[in-house]
Amino acid sequence: MPASQESVVHRIIGFCLRPLAPGFVDMYLYRRTEQTLGMTRQVGFSPAPSVLTESMEQCLAEMDHASIAIGVVLGRQSNEGGRLAWISN
């Protein structure tokens, strides 16, 4: 097959990564797991298996499977000590 017809793999940059890492473990997302999962399902989504197992290794494997090359982790600047947590950029 000519090079111009070879399949192209697109690598994605994901901007919604909220890993189970320092700072994020205090977020509402991880502290109130059952409520978070209920809200996720209510809007028609299934939680990622890595959320259920709380596994960073599994999260990275899921990113690889979805062709996500880079995961951007953004800080969350809500009320310090509030329910959403404070994560510095």
8 domain residue, yes or no: no
pTM of structure: 0.65
7 domain residue, yes or no: no
Q: Identify the domain containing residue 49 by its residue range.
A: 13-87
37 domain residue, yes or no: yes
86 Cβ contact partners less than 8 Å away, ≥ 6 residues apart? 23, 76, 77, 78, 79, 80
48 domain residue, yes or no: yes
Domains held by the chain: number: 1
6 domain residue, yes or no: no
67 domain residue, yes or no: yes
Q: pLDDT per residue over 18-62, tens digit each?
A: 777 777 776 766 667 788 788 888 889 888 888 888 888 999 999
